[in-house]
Structure 1
Amino acid sequence: MSTNCIFCKIISDEVTSTKYFENDELLVFKDIKPASKVHVLAIPKKHIVNVNSLTKSDIPLINQLLENGKRIVEELGGDTEDMLMGFHKPPFNSISHLHLHLISPCKDMSLISRLMFCGWWFTSVDNVLTAIKSKL
């Protein structure tokens, strides 16, 4: 845990949030500035700075973030057929703690939100997994 990290403070309940799922390894909670009807963040409890810090040993964790995040989106009434999932890439991280965005429905996102969650500063889970697997 990082003492100055807002997400670490959410994990330790120093800062309140709307938590939807929690286990020993991860937490899924509501984004404070939702880009659509359903917008959750899935984060590891272990402080990982960003996607560039991931290693092959983190692949099961990424899969758990994805699996649990998608389940929560479904439980909240989100459309998994119209869902955006991914990570911001450095230096475009608003918080230096790895976090997976799951946003649904995409069709309801504003132009500003679409710009924030697309392009070369935002990457899919598949791209992150491919990059991790290609690391030596």
Structure 2
Amino acid sequence: MGKRPLVRRRGRGGMQYRVSATGKIAPAKYPSFELSENHDGEIIDLVHERGRDAPLAKIRFNDGSISFIPAVIGAKIGSQIQFGLKSKIADGNVISIQNIPDGTTICNVEKQFGDGGSFIKSAGTNATV
């Protein structure tokens, strides 16, 4: 008998074809805040995660919690970020898409509210509203 085709070997899910958890820092998604409340945070570090092209921004919020989100183009350590409906329109801020004016570039869009971001999430990508 011949060998099994490569796609069938991968489908079995042996250790050779599984992703290693070594080097993973955290899931890259938005924290679960109510958008009606405004939360301010500061980028305290930009970290590289193995197997990911886009760097992760480590954010410390005013309440002391820490979260990792994909860093936007131009993000730097010490930048201030706002989460909420009344946040100003600036790079890195998290705002509901209904409050963003036409012509603004956006990234990391949620498919459903609270899923942490599904679209336009890879390194260097953006879309225009």
TM-score (norm 1): 0.26
Structure 1 or 2: larger helix share?
1
Quick check: which has more Rg, 1 or 2? Answer: 2
Larger RCO of the pair (alpha carbons < 8 Å, separation 6+): 1
TM-score (norm 2): 0.27
